[in-house]
Amino acid sequence: MSNPIRATIELVEDSRNQGRQLTAKGQATRARILAVAAELVLRNGVAGTQIEDVRKAAGVSGSQMTHYFQDKRTLIKDVITWQADATVETHHRPELGELDTFAAWRNWAELITQQQVGRGFQGGCDFGSLAGQLVESSQETRSDLADGYERLLRLFRRGLQAMRDRGDLREDADPDALAHALLAAMQGGILLSQTLRRAAPLRDSFDAALTQLESFATDH
């Protein structure tokens, strides 16, 4: 049925295409610049982050910087794609498998919760934080963020559709609607737990979405 390896390749191909011509060292440099840029953008916003600040903080030369990023617009776009890649890759850990069983969804919620507990709820969801901070900064940036969420929604839907095709979920289960609810529960739950610095809001939020998912289980 579903093929996790092919799925991973499809989902991360955007970033691979961008990095394809780079050597391993070049890819590492590019990743370091993106990590630094993400941190600065989260701290100071798009308007408050200049290419020169990123260059200094990453410790690279001006010519290296322009080699990887033509301008600020390219840099912001790549920061968003890079963070979306990282979030999508979190969903392809071997222990998680495809999100196409009820157990896998419970494991997924537990994994995300443990990640947040492990960091003391600091920083919240990396992609969600970028979305919350940059969504209104420009139409282009909003569209890049929307692409990131759409990739996650596709990943969720594929697992849910497989569950319906297999007969685990009833015919009246809507994979689109369930994917929205699961992703919203994750984003809202993380923001509450991040602000309140306790796990209960995230756990309770996941539990509501998972209970609804499980309410569509067939009897077999």
Contacts to a copy of itself by CB under 8 A: 42-45, 47-48, 122-124, 128-129, 131-133, 135-136, 142, 145-146, 149-150, 176-178, 180-181, 183-189, 191-192, 194-197, 200-202, 204-205, 207-209, 211-212, 215
Q: Choose between 61 and 122: whose C-beta lies nearer to a copy of itself.
A: 122
Handedness of CA 37, 38, 40, 46 (dihedral sign): positive
Judge contact between 105 and 91, C-beta under 8 A: no
> CA-CA distance, 105 to 112, in Å (whole number)?
11
Cα dist. 32→38, 175, 186 in Å?
10, 37, 27
Q: How far is the CB of 205 from a copy of itself (least distance, A)?
A: 4
Q: How far is the CB of 92 from a copy of itself (least distance, A)?
A: 21
Q: How far is the CB of 140 from a copy of itself (least distance, A)?
A: 13
Judge contact between 38 and 134, C-beta under 8 A: no
Q: Choose between 64 and 147: whose C-beta lies nearer to a copy of itself.
A: 147
Q: How far is the CB of 203 from a copy of itself (least distance, A)?
A: 8
Distance of CA 50 to the CA centre of its chain: 24
Q: Choose between 60 and 191: whose C-beta lies nearer to a copy of itself.
A: 191
Q: Choose between 32 and 142: whose C-beta lies nearer to a copy of itself.
A: 142
Q: Choose between 34 and 178: whose C-beta lies nearer to a copy of itself.
A: 178
Q: What angle do CA 63, 31, 143 make, to 5 degrees?
A: 95
Cα dist. 52→37, 46, 55, 70, 198 in Å?
11, 13, 5, 13, 37
Q: How far is the CB of 31 from a copy of itself (least distance, A)?
A: 22
